[in-house]
Homo-oligomer: A and B are copies of this chain.
């Protein structure tokens, strides 16, 4: 890809992130019944940056298929970012990953306290479903979005991955359990984001299948890149604690297979992600670029 495309892609990602953040800000502003401290805590973590990649995927795919970004897509993008944010808040808790730094700021339980962090996480998760149910006029579409988001985020998806991740800290993981963790903890949510976008874009069955697969491969690649960055990056670049995996003796792709082999696997996944897009025309170039960008990202 040309350097111009690279510049354009980065601008587009920022525009999409802005759309998602604006949608989240509007939602929080309109939810006047939220208990004040809870609202403050939710906004602290929800509106404090973040790459919004999952939300951007929803928007890109809807735009690709429908030629525009609909209110439904914005709502779905906001919903998946709420779910992603809740997962970070709970994951950072002392009983979980025990992290002090997130998105360049103190984690929620450090800024407030543990009880507030638990409840703010619960609130974000529940609000995501409330928004899908109340903001999307077409019931058929709305209930499909709820089903997809709940499935990828729930105990057969992201929460399963988090549970396996916690267990892996207690005993050395092998490559199979590592794949299980990446698949569930990370890739399911990327696949969910792609599916939400596809549903908002009225995708045909075959397109839906391909795009869900695209998200899955992209998510696997993203997580390996994350593990590599934990070894190679700085806290300043990442906005969260790095070097933690090694300090905690945590099994990762780099620790299990080495950096070179990990990069090879990530490249293979990038190619598989590109393959899922073979039936799409140049409108999918942004998605293609996103797949290749996974390995180049610095944070």
Q: State the A residues within 8 Å of B (CB).
A: 31, 33-35, 37-39, 42, 86, 90, 93, 95-96, 113-116, 118-119, 121-127, 129-130, 132-134, 139-140, 142-144, 146-147, 149-151, 153-156, 159-164, 166-167, 184
Contact = CB atoms under 8 A, between A and B. Distances in A.
Contacts of A162: 119
B115 A133 contact: no
B166 A35 contact: no
B160 A146 contact: no
The SS class assigned to the A binding surface is: helix
A35 B127 contact: no
Contacts of A125: 122, 125-126
A139 B133 contact: no
Contacts of A167: 37
A96 B119 CA distance: 9
Contact of A151 (B130, B153, B161): B130
Contacts of A159: 35, 38, 119, 122-123, 126
A114 to B, nearest CB: 3
B126 A146 contact: no
Given A126-B155, A147-B134, A150-B126, A35 B118 contact: no
Contacts of A132: 146
Given A37-B167, A113-B95, A162-B119, A127 B155 contact: yes
Contacts of A124: 155
A118 B93 contact: yes
A250 B217 CA distance: 52
A163 B133 contact: no
Given A127-B150, A139-B142, 17 more contacts: A33-B156, A35-B164, A39-B155, A90-B122, A93-B118, A95-B114, A96-B118, A116-B166, A119-B166, A123-B154, A129-B150, A130-B147, A133-B147, A134-B151, A139-B139, A143-B143, A143-B146
A141 B158 CA distance: 27
Given A93-B118, A115-B95, A129-B129, A34 B160 contact: yes
A146 B133 contact: yes
Contact of A146 (B114, B122, B146): B146
